[in-house]
Structure 1
Amino acid sequence: MATIKTTAPAKINLTLHVTGQRADGYHLLDSLVVFAEVGDVISATRAVDMRLTVTGHFAEGVPLDGSNLVLKAAEALRRERGVTMGAHLHLEKNLPHAAGIGGGSSDAAATLKLLAELWDVEPLAHDDPAVLALGADVPVCLRAPTPCRMAGIGEELSDFTALPRAALVLVNPNVEVPTPEAFRGLTQKTNPAMGELPVGVTLNGFTDWLHEQRNDLHKPAAAVATEIDKALTMMRQQRAVLWAGMSGSGATCVAVVKDMGAARQVARMIQIREQSWWVVPTPLLS
């Protein structure tokens, strides 16, 4: 049988403002989310049962049972669309774990789109309750590769379609920061929202705007993993870096540069100094 595959791109929070907390404990966010070309790869083949295999540099520790978001997404689509057939799914795990770049959520979103094609059923919309039930980042990942402003608990999405062309350098200092731990470290949970991005902004104007925004999880994440600030210092020392910050709940840091030539140069300089770190130059998707 034919196998189809897709990439689950890394989700990057260029800003992450925590604006409040609901009575049920969910935090309210205001975030600019973009996607990188690098990502996990998911393939699927029709079958009578559901099965998941995993390979790749970060395959170790990935669960193969129903706790995996790939299989949760598959079962959600089967349930919502009344599908009776199964699929053999394979995940090539290229993104680090607990890294603040939405690896599991992007995998789930990519699985939903891939299996809708494989099973020839209508895809689930990003605002479908079954999608949000998979996790707060899954709806925005369903919109990939379109940059989005994400608000609420992840369900309020609006497109950012006029970002300037740029490239990114992703750096993970080989540490994990569990998202709940970063949120527990927040001392202030009601903060100002993200500022409005000027229309038709240049790359320099965009990075100037980024310097005025925040990631409210940076401080608590850096308290868990001091390597975050080390990575950011190294990135900001590179002349080609226009802006650098932490993505999501960490520990992956991201630098914005003008093009892939600059991204490769910055990545090479950091990788030489820290050979055990995960360092990837990648285009910014839009």
Structure 2
Amino acid sequence: MPQIEVFAPAKVNLTLHVTGQRPDGYHLLDSLVAFADFGDHLSVETANALSLKVIGPFAKGVPEDNSNLCWRAAELFGEPVAITLDKRLPHPAGIGGGSSDAAAVLRAMETLFQRPYEGDALALGADTPVCRIATAARMQGIGDVVNKVNLIPMAAVLVNPGVDVPTPSVFKALESKSNAPMTEMPAPEFPAQLWSWLENQRNDLEEPARKVAPVISDVLHALSGRGARVVRMSGSGATCFALFENDGLADLVARDVARDHPDWWVQAVRLA
């Protein structure tokens, strides 16, 4: 049977500004999102019935039924397929693993069945629309407004301490639900200005997430003071990142942090 191999990259919120809250409870966001060259791998093939098998280093605890976003994505597309998910990203981690997996399933099925997915990707979660394009973008609204941006490639280190940080708990701990959006992003041909701009943006969920899971402060501290231009948390946590101007320094920091904290997940990546 035809089979498609597809990559689901880690999503990193380089910035995440919470700018408001709608009457229905949904939060309004303004976020610069980039994608890593590391992530989950999936294979999708035509089948007589929908099925999902999860393998890989982070397979434990990942459901293989209709509670998994991969399964739901295939259901929304409307064709039976057999999905194998090689789970290489920790979960839940604030790096869009489930949403990126679902978006990858949709891309694979579009190729398999030679037709576009015409449904609403937002039905699979706020991160799914931006994961559908899987390239640097500005995400606004409740995740429904996504515009590609030009971003210089960046070396980064991702670190997850292996704790579950429930997103509802983080938003509940957020004191201000109405904060300033991102300022105007400099053009990528001015990297010095771009780095300075990034340093002055923020993740509004970082402080409340640190209250929910204090170990996030330990991760941020472990990444600081090592030559990074930016050290910040991604999404609602617990994964944090450090951005560097060269790959060599990122590789060195990743090695040192992994040595000092063998129970943490540490990965050097390139973002774009």
Q: TM-score range by the shorter chain?
A: over 0.9
**Is the contact between residue 165 and residue 258 of structure 1 (CA under 8 Å) also seen in structure 2?**
no
Q: Please say if 1:63 is aligned against 2:63.
A: yes
**Secondary structure of 1:189's partner?**
coil
Alignment-derived partner of residue 106 in structure 1: 100
Shift of 1:49: 0.5
**Is the contact between residue 98 and residue 179 of structure 1 (CA under 8 Å) also seen in structure 2?**
no
Within a 5 Å distance, the mapping from 1:129-278 to structure 2 comes to 130-144=120-134, 146-161=135-150, 163-239=151-227, 241-278=228-265
Within a 5 Å distance, the mapping from 1:79-98 to structure 2 comes to 83=79, 86-98=80-92
Alignment-derived partner of residue 117 in structure 2: 123
Query: 2:57 is aligned with what amino acid?
Result: H
Query: 1:72 is aligned with what amino acid?
Result: R
Query: 2:263 is aligned with what amino acid?
Result: S
Q: Please say if 1:40 is aligned against 2:40.
A: yes
Shift of 1:165: 2.5
- What is the distance in 2 between the residues matched to 1:25 and 1:272? 42
**Secondary structure of 2:124's partner?**
coil
- What is the distance in 1 between the residues matched to 2:180 and 2:30? 9
**Superposed CA RMSD:** 1.2
Shift of 1:203: 3.7
**Secondary structure of 2:222's partner?**
helix
Inter-CA distance 22–252: structure 2 relative to 1 (3 Å threshold)? same
Inter-CA distance 202–262: structure 2 relative to 1 (3 Å threshold)? farther
Shift of 1:164: 1.9
- What is the distance in 2 between the residues matched to 1:215 and 1:131? 24
Q: Please say if 1:6 is aligned against 2:6.
A: yes
Cα-to-partner distance string for 1:7-46 (whole Å, 9 max, x where unaligned): 1000100000000000000000000011001111110111
**Secondary structure of 2:53's partner?**
strand
Query: 1:255 is aligned with what amino acid?
Result: A
**Is the contact between residue 187 and residue 194 of structure 2 (CA under 8 Å) also seen in structure 1?**
no
Inter-CA distance 68–133: structure 2 relative to 1 (3 Å threshold)? same
Shift of 1:260: 2.2
Structure 1 segments, 4+ long, off by >6 Å, are none
Structure 2 unpaired stretches of 5+: none
Structure 1 unpaired stretches of 5+: none
